[in-house]
Amino acid sequence: MTTVRTRFAPSPTGYLHVGGARTALFSWLYARRFGGKFVLRVEDTDLERSTEAAEQAILDGLQWLGLDYDEGPYYQTQRFERYREIARQLLDEGLAYHCYCSQERVDAVREAARSQGLKPRYDGHCRDRHGAAPAGVTPVLRFKNPLDGEVVFDDQVFGRIAVANSELDDLVLIRRNGAPMYNFAVVVDDSDMRITHVIRGEDHINNTPRQINILQALGAHVPQYAHVPLIRGGDGKKLSKRHGAVSITQYRDEGFLPEAMLNYLARLGWSHGDEEIFDLDRLTQLFDVADVNRAPSVFDQDKLRWLNQHYVKAADSERLQALLSEQFDALGLDAANGPPLAETVEALRERAPTLADMAHASDYFYSEFDAFDEKSAKKHLTVGSAPVLQRLQECLGKVENWQRPPLEAAVTQVSEALSLKMGKVAQPLRVAISGRAATPPIDVTLALVGRERTLSRLSKAQEYVAARTAGAES
């Protein structure tokens, strides 16, 4: 039995988007599940659009997700000689031909077909051309696609698909500049690299019959195909920037955890009963492309956030601290200017879906906030809160041991002394020291904000209330 060999073959013309990441994951999982090899191949035949930056972004994305490859990366630009060799072979065997048609003629032919309600196709003008080649014209090499019959293949996801050869035209194998076209390079590579299972996006389903025809002309083995449905945006359209982040590294930068992304991606189009939580080991043990759904699915950030929250709650503290530190850097916050990161992480890990959220929710521990949140101040820093704030200022000022128990005792003492419910005391205090109405428990918040900042912010809050009172009286 031949070993399974799958591949991920991105073209370095943009970042790694979530759809690509998912097909990479599926290919990786399939190889792992069946003890095979996962090959990485960079399809950089488009010399104009390929960039090193894009390639790096793709590699970074794969590494972040932990999708390691056993072979590669192979580069198609380094295999041009091989493509030309095969092209020559096809030409010699009469399975391909030179085409001297101008771009204008080809466009005109397509346009004519379209206006007649037909599929735009090359008309095979040069296929049966006789006589000398036109002088001064560099030809492209076209494949002699079979004229009749049909191509049938059993897709592991979609089942049997049949396409009539009459629907296909003679596609270009080698362009005028000598570079191979996608469909040709893919076929040569998949064959040379002994790929057994081609797992790719559904948008390639129409390329498959063409590729199979070329493979057969080459006398090469036809691999198993598995086309994965595309990921859509909330409006049903192809996922794009309009729908939010699509770049995998952007999710990384926004403080998502790779295990959450992997879990989410795996569940998009695939499931195992009612299970929702899967780690890579579990997936490796259960995943099969044959179980992937046929219908396209919509990328739901809410569910991704929920999963991320789940993993944040379970993550190792030191790891979260390092990640939070990166978020601080991005926000220009100095972790040295506040409580230990470990304490911040503990206080916020259950109330921050992402590390970016955590950073935003803890900024007031490390820097002064510009202003009180308007709504919160209006509701809690009222005229009536003046005596509360004053009493808090006194009692907290006396706390020497700035730890949670004595801090909580102080706050409780104020509420009892003024015969006020805890909420009437804690909320004004909370807004005063954090600028907002939602923070961790008040004793935790006090401890994290620190003595000095608490007392100075309490003073500011009292000034704010006083100013507000004056404004109300005038």
- Residues 255-284 binding RNA (CB under 7 A) are 267-271, 273-274, 276
| Per-residue x/- track, 301-320, RNA (CB under 7 A) | -xx-xx--xx--x-------
Stretch that binds RNA, among 63-71, 85-93, 97-105, 338-346 (CB under 7 A): 97-105
To the nearest 10 degrees (0 to 180), the angle between helices 52-65 and 258-267 is 90
What is the Cα–Cα distance from 395 to 391, expressed in whole angstroms?
A: 6
DSSP 170-217: --EEE-TTSPBPHHHHHHHHHHHTT--EEEEEGGGTTHHHHHHHHHHH
**Smallest gap, in angstroms, from Cβ of residue 227 to RNA?**
8
**Tokens 């003492």 — which residue?**
413
Judged by beta carbon, residue 110 or residue 329, the one nearer RNA is: 110
Per CB under 7 A, the list member of 72, 120, 244, 450 interacting with RNA is 120
Judged by beta carbon, residue 196 or residue 309, the one nearer RNA is: 309
What is the Cα–Cα distance from 108 to 306, expressed in whole angstroms?
A: 53
User: How many CA within 13 A on the CB side of residue 5?
Assistant: 20
- Please tell me the count of residues contacting RNA according to CB under 7 A: 90
* Residues 329/366, Cβ–Cβ less than 8 Å: no
**Smallest gap, in angstroms, from Cβ of residue 105 to RNA?**
9
* Residues 246/179, Cβ–Cβ less than 8 Å: no
350 forms part of the interface with RNA (CB under 7 A): yes
To the nearest 10 degrees (0 to 180), the angle between helices 451-473 and 386-397 is 160
Judged by beta carbon, residue 305 or residue 469, the one nearer RNA is: 305
117 forms part of the interface with RNA (CB under 7 A): yes
Per CB under 7 A, the list member of 442, 458, 461, 465 interacting with RNA is 442
Token pair recorded at residue 36: 């095979």
**Smallest gap, in angstroms, from Cβ of residue 437 to RNA?**
5
What is the Cα–Cα distance from 226 to 245, expressed in whole angstroms?
A: 26
Judged by beta carbon, residue 230 or residue 418, the one nearer RNA is: 230
Active site residue 241: yes
Strand segments, DSSP code E, in 11-70 are 37-42
**Smallest gap, in angstroms, from Cβ of residue 278 to RNA?**
12
Burial class of residue 111 in the structure, from the number of CB atoms within 10 Å of its CB (0-12 exposed, 13-18 middle, 19+ buried): exposed
Secondary structure letter of residue 278 according to DSSP? -
Bridge partner residues of 164 (DSSP): 150
Judged by beta carbon, residue 167 or residue 329, the one nearer RNA is: 167
Judged by beta carbon, residue 329 or residue 441, the one nearer RNA is: 441
Judged by beta carbon, residue 221 or residue 237, the one nearer RNA is: 237
What is the Cα–Cα distance from 376 to 453, expressed in whole angstroms?
A: 19
Residues in Cβ contact with 252 at an 8 Å cutoff, skipping those fewer than 6 apart: 61, 64, 258
| Per-residue x/- track, 401-440, RNA (CB under 7 A) | -------x------------xxx--xx--x------xxxx
Per CB under 7 A, the list member of 1, 132, 295, 371 interacting with RNA is 295
Judged by CB under 7 A, the chain residues 227 through 246 that form the site for RNA are 230, 232, 234, 236-238
Distances (CA, A) of 139 to 85, 134, 142, 328: 17, 9, 9, 57
344 forms part of the interface with RNA (CB under 7 A): no
What is the Cα–Cα distance from 419 to 398, expressed in whole angstroms?
A: 20
77 forms part of the interface with RNA (CB under 7 A): no
Judged by CB under 7 A, the chain residues 153 through 212 that form the site for RNA are 158-159, 161-164, 167, 169, 171-172, 175-177, 179, 181-183, 202-207
Judged by beta carbon, residue 234 or residue 466, the one nearer RNA is: 234
Distances (CA, A) of 287 to 25, 37, 282: 10, 15, 8
Secondary structure letter of residue 142 according to DSSP? E
Stretch that binds RNA, among 56-64, 299-307, 322-330, 364-372 (CB under 7 A): 299-307
Per CB under 7 A, the list member of 26, 30, 122, 225 interacting with RNA is 122
**Smallest gap, in angstroms, from Cβ of residue 13 to RNA?**
7
DSSP 302-353: HHHHHHHHHHHHHS-HHHHHHHHHHHHHHHT--GGGSS-HHHHHHHHTTS-S
Stretch that binds RNA, among 114-122, 333-341, 384-392, 455-463 (CB under 7 A): 114-122
* Residues 218/190, Cβ–Cβ less than 8 Å: no
Token pair recorded at residue 378: 């209006």
Token pair recorded at residue 414: 């104020």
Per CB under 7 A, the list member of 351, 360, 451, 468 interacting with RNA is 351
**Smallest gap, in angstroms, from Cβ of residue 67 to RNA?**
18
Token pair recorded at residue 7: 């591949």
| Per-residue x/- track, 367-396, RNA (CB under 7 A) | ------------------------------
Per CB under 7 A, the list member of 16, 140, 333, 388 interacting with RNA is 140
49 forms part of the interface with RNA (CB under 7 A): yes
Catalytic hit among 119, 144, 238, 241: 241
Judged by beta carbon, residue 67 or residue 179, the one nearer RNA is: 179
**Smallest gap, in angstroms, from Cβ of residue 229 to RNA?**
7
Number of other CB atoms surrounding residue 470 within 10 Å: 9
Q: Give the catalytic positions in this structure.
A: 241
